[in-house]
A and B are shown apart, each in its own frame.
Chain A
Amino acid sequence: MKPYVPQYVGTITKYVFVDSPDTTPQDIATAAYEIAQGVMIKETCFGCQITGSPEDVERIIAHLRKLDPYRIYVKDRGFPPGDARRCRADLGGARPGYLGHEYEMGLVRYIAYGLQETDRMTPEELKAAAGQEMSMPKALDIDILESLMKEE
């Protein structure tokens, strides 16, 4: 064991994801750089990462959200960009978190549609939409399972 001296104490890091036909990650990064004022911005393939004081990061995110309100998604990140414990430049391969992001990015088109639709709804319509049942995927029929096992 050795003494651990943390970096970037007091800062927060946020991911900005974009999945839009109109806005590219480069647009996001450029817009963030324009108002960065010394905040660390890292352009990525999915959007960017922003590291700085909580006020600065919130200011930049509020600006970025206006570019494509329904298709920009923001999430906290624990590690700062380039941290040797997570950065794939040191570890090689995709880091574990990307697999989760990849999975959820496949679903955000439904969320974007949902955000757009719910924005137009009256409070009564919203309540009715919220009460809709989300059907559960059907479990595998026991007879089919049995036949599969016999085939094996």
Chain B
Amino acid sequence: MAKVFIYPATSLILSDLVARFGHQPLGSAISIREHIQTPGFDSPPIQMTPDDPQKGLKWAAVEVPSGIRGRMSLYGPLVEEAEAAIIIDEPDLAFGCMGCARTNELLAFMLREKEIPRLELRYPASKEEGVTFVAAIKEFLKNLEVQQ
């Protein structure tokens, strides 16, 4: 079982397909869960703490806005852990944790720089493209098993 980073990291479709074909999807929920299940100090009204932008310094420079560094404190460890990646090119979906264009660019750049098997697709727009989309992911994940 390989750890596969999914981009967009909040994608239902990618998360389901990766798990369905026997691998572990790495998405936002994994980091968020770890974050909110760790005791510490609360920083109302939401769950980010002043420590998070500092942790993000590992992946983004100090002059980069704190929003990007805060997000990278969630995604950075996942990218480091990833053994493969599936990337949707230019997804319309960019909400919540995925709502920062600069973080998304940095994330896609890090995944492309990292020497791991990578599949790049776009969302299907028809039934026929749905077959191609699923077949490409199935084939990619099957080849990961062979490599392991």
Chain A residues near B (Cβ < 8 Å):
1-6, 8-10, 12-13, 15, 17, 73-79, 83, 85, 96-97, 99-101, 103-105, 107-115, 117-118, 121, 126-127, 129-130, 132, 134, 136-137
Whole-angstrom CA separation of A101 from B28 in the bound complex: 14
Chain B residues positioned under 8 Å from A132 (CB to CB): 132, 135
- Let me know if B16 is at the binding interface, CB within 8 A: yes
What are 25 of the A-B contact pairs (CB < 8 Å)? Answer: A1-B42, A4-B42, A6-B36, A6-B37, A12-B33, A73-B13, A77-B33, A78-B35, A79-B32, A85-B45, A85-B46, A96-B96, A100-B11, A100-B12, A104-B11, A109-B130, A110-B130, A111-B124, A114-B124, A114-B130, A114-B132, A127-B139, A129-B136, A132-B132, A134-B132
Q: Chain B nearest CB: distance from A111 CB in Å?
A: 6
Total number of residue pairs linking A and B with CB closer than 8 Å = 150
Check A15/B35 contact, CB under 8 A, given A114-B135, A126-B139: no
Chain B residues positioned under 8 Å from A101 (CB to CB): 12
Instruction: Assess whether B19 is in contact with A8, with CB atoms less than 8 Å apart.
Output: no
Instruction: Assess whether A130 is in contact with B135, with CB atoms less than 8 Å apart.
Output: yes
Within 8 Å by CB of A136, from B36, B37, B122, B138, lies B122
